[in-house]
Amino acid sequence: MLFADAVTPSLAANSPVLALDLGGTHLRTAVVSADGVIGARDRRRTLTVRGADAVMADCADSLRQITQQHLAAGGQRPTALGISAPGPLDPFRGVFQDPPNLGRSFWELPIVDHLSSVLGVPATLERDTQVAILGERAFGAGIGVNDLVYVTVSTGIGGAVISGGTLMRGPDGVAGELGHIAVDMNGPVCGCGGRGHLERMTSGTGMARSGMDALEAGLDAPELARIAANIAPSPLEAHHVYDAAAAGDPTARRIIDTAIHAFAAAAVSIVDIFNPQRIIVGGGIALAWGEALLGPARDLVAKTAFRVARERVSIVPASLGDDVGLIGALPLVRLALSGRSTQAHPEFASAVTA
């Protein structure tokens, strides 16, 4: 059942919630208290090769297990489920679209209907980056900030925008896909088919691809070639390109410099388009590179973004780490309860706040 169908009177704003963070590699579950503290939790591999039905069974089993642990420890029964998953997905219907990281059997999967009927609690679904921005705003690097942008720099690049205190979704729920800002009209083709997108330049997948393309083209990349020969038949990964650059490889250095510059250029666009008070940057690559990524973005924003906008904005690292997809389930459920989400039934929302 969607929140729209939920009539459970016990669904209270101060109850703990169940969280499911469904990633392409791991699925993680937790009970999150009303003050954002994680209690019982579980983590399993996402066995996508077994198909969506098997993964859904794993999710339900894991959620039941942590619920039992939580209740056995004297905890209050969780009354709703918040789900974070890779996009693209339809948050209004609670259905996956065609997520490339999860495989074909997940296309059009009605995960909200399925898990809520199996577990007997209302559920709500959002894209992982949307859940992350809600989590960071409630409990992390964006507390109290009403105009906020979140960017994750990892295997891919994702984004989310809160403007005037409202999570931007767009009519299809796809708003905020900041990884597909074009930073070079003549750049290489992105995984989405567009050209010169931020994700193609600065994501882990994009940098690895640039490294392999450079070797195939016979560019001057002695250290990159040595690493590639060492790890064969495994393909190059972004950290190999980074290591080769650090060892003085000119082509690897150019790939890394391009990645950093592309991120800075995108940051300027983000500042000018959204006029955010804060840009929060999360994800594995952002965490590993730290100021090497954020410093040049701050410098370029300070030089070239609109004056009033650049004087207001700060660019900071995310603070909740891997748990953001779990902690964010709490504000996600509250958003559904508030009636500001189309998943919440107005009468139900008023019954809860009454």
Residues that bind Zn ion (CB under 5 A): 180, 190, 192, 194, 197
- Residue 171's Cα: distance from chain center in Å? 19
Min. distance of Cβ 67 from Zn ion in angstroms?
Answer: 39
Q: Answer positive or negative: Cα dihedral of 17, 162, 346, 90.
A: negative
What does residue 30 show for φ and ψ, rounded to 5 degrees? -160, 160
Biggest CA–CA distance in the chain, Å, is: 69
CA–CA dist 290, 158 (Å, integer): 17
Query: Minimal CB distance to Zn ion: which residue?
Result: 190
Nearer residue to Zn ion within complex by CB, 140 or 206: 206
CA–CA dist 197, 316 (Å, integer): 22
Nearer residue to Zn ion within complex by CB, 263 or 348: 263
Min. distance of Cβ 45 from Zn ion in angstroms?
Answer: 28
Neighbours of 28 (CB within 10 A): 21
Min. distance of Cβ 87 from Zn ion in angstroms?
Answer: 13
Nearer residue to Zn ion within complex by CB, 190 or 252: 190
From the list 231, 224, 225, 285, the residue with the least C-alpha distance to 255 is 224
Nearer residue to Zn ion within complex by CB, 81 or 201: 201
Q: Pairing relation of β-strands 26-32 and 17-22?
A: antiparallel
Min. distance of Cβ 51 from Zn ion in angstroms?
Answer: 28
What does residue 188 show for φ and ψ, rounded to 5 degrees? -70, 160
Nearer residue to Zn ion within complex by CB, 19 or 190: 190
Min. distance of Cβ 63 from Zn ion in angstroms?
Answer: 33
Q: What separation in angstroms does the CA of 328 have from each of 39, 132, 136, 295, 298?
A: 14, 6, 7, 27, 27
Min. distance of Cβ 180 from Zn ion in angstroms?
Answer: 4
Min. distance of Cβ 197 from Zn ion in angstroms?
Answer: 3
Nearer residue to Zn ion within complex by CB, 69 or 205: 205
Min. distance of Cβ 196 from Zn ion in angstroms?
Answer: 9
Cβ neighbors of 326 (< 8 A, separation 6 or more) are 19, 21, 28, 29, 30, 32, 38, 41, 84
Nearer residue to Zn ion within complex by CB, 192 or 231: 192
Cross-strand partners of 126 = 84
Nearer residue to Zn ion within complex by CB, 197 or 310: 197
